[in-house]
A and B are shown apart, each in its own frame.
Chain A
Amino acid sequence: MLLKKRRPKQQRLPEPVEQRPIFRDPRNFSLVVEKYQTIVFRYVFNMVHDYHQAEDLTQEIFAKVYRFLPSYNAKYPFSAWLLRIAHNHAVDYTRLRRLQTVPYEAVANEDSVAEDHSVFVAPESVGPDEVSQRKFIQDAIYALPVDNRAVIVLRYLEGVKLEEIAYILGIPLGTVKSRINRARLVLQRALAQAFLERSRR
């Protein structure tokens, strides 16, 4: 007797809340924006380090998200899908800006440009030593190449899982780990330098 081979049942992923038809109405889509605006805005801000530019880019990112909403397939969490769109958009912006402002040779040889357009000042309760130490650490983080900065921000600030970071950045898991290690070393060196300078005063 021939036994019919049973096909493995395809697992259907549950439909994510954010993809429900109700959110195709722009007025309701604002609920999705409200829920995810902080993580997207903060991520973009840390990529471009400019408040007003981060605001413009975040608006464009959510407009893209609205357009692409039907293509989200729930294999990864909605926040990871959103951050993937945000990352690509922010990286496109930084590359375009560098092409417009930096000579070609410099772009080809250097993977990052440290931006310093922060509009924030340290709280008054923080002493001058702490201000300079904070600035030193910020400079070290913002001087990291944008791809290395992205893994550090996703991993240690937002607490994103390694596989999700690989998906967001579109790179293999092994590359995520090596970028984390490289960024850790750069930060360690910068911190050692900061403490050395502080102890000399």
Chain B
Amino acid sequence: MSCIAVQNLISQYLDGRLEGAEAELVRCHVRECADCAQDFQDSQFLSRLLKENLDLPEPPKDLPESVIRTVERDK
């Protein structure tokens, strides 16, 4: 597996969205490749930093209705 392919999968791995063989491929590659190991560590840290410190507001409840009103008005 190439470095770019692994780096593409790291976020999914950290979010628990990877399973089985793919997850194992990421683990193996990160053990052997210093660059990807660094990327893995940084991703883990920054992902936590952003999720814990940024405001992550929910959209207003009536957003879909407001969009439909705009769409129908523009038609």
- State which of A29, A62, A156, A162 has its C-beta within 8 Å of the C-beta of B47: A156
Within 8 A of B (CB), among A114-140: 118, 120, 134, 137-138
Annotate B35-75 by CB proximity to A: 1 below 8 A, 0 otherwise: 00000001100110111011111111001111110111011
B14 smallest CB distance to A (angstroms): 7
Residue in contact with B50 in the complex, picked from A51, A54, A60, A153, CB distance below 8 Å: A153
Taking a contact as CB atoms closer than 8 A, the residue among B4, B50, B66, B67 that contacts A156 in the complex is B50
The answer to the question of B15 belonging to the interface, with a C-beta cut-off of 8 Å to chain A, is: yes
| Smallest Cβ-Cβ distance to A122: which chain B residue | B55
Which residues of chain A are near B11, meaning CB under 8 Å? 155-156, 159-161
Q: Chain A's nearest CB lies how many Å from the CB of B40?
A: 12
With known contacts A138-B54, A155-B11, A159-B11, A26–B71 Cβ distance under 8 A: yes
Assign chain A's interface to a size class: 35 or more
Give the complex CA separation of A188 and B29 in angstroms.
26
In the complex, per-residue mask of A39-57: 1 if CB is within 8 Å of any chain B CB, else 0: 0011001100001001100
Number of B interface residues, CB 8 Å?
34
Q: Which residues of A contact B7 (CB under 8 A)?
A: 162
Q: How far is the CB of A65 from chain B (nearest CB, A)?
A: 9
Bound form: Cα–Cα A153–B68 in Å: 28
Q: Is the CB of B54 within 8 A of A157?
A: yes
Residues of chain B having any CB pair with chain A under 8 Å: 4, 7-8, 11-12, 14-15, 17, 42-43, 46-47, 49-51, 53-60, 63-68, 70-72, 74-75
B-binding residues in A (CB < 8 A)? 26-27, 29-30, 33-34, 37-38, 41-42, 45-46, 51, 54-55, 58-60, 62-63, 66-67, 118, 120, 134, 137-138, 141, 152-153, 155-157, 159-163, 173, 184, 187, 191
What 11 new A-B contacts, CB under 8 Å, besides A60-B70, A187-B49?
A33-B67, A34-B64, A41-B59, A51-B57, A62-B70, A66-B71, A120-B57, A141-B54, A157-B47, A162-B7, A184-B42
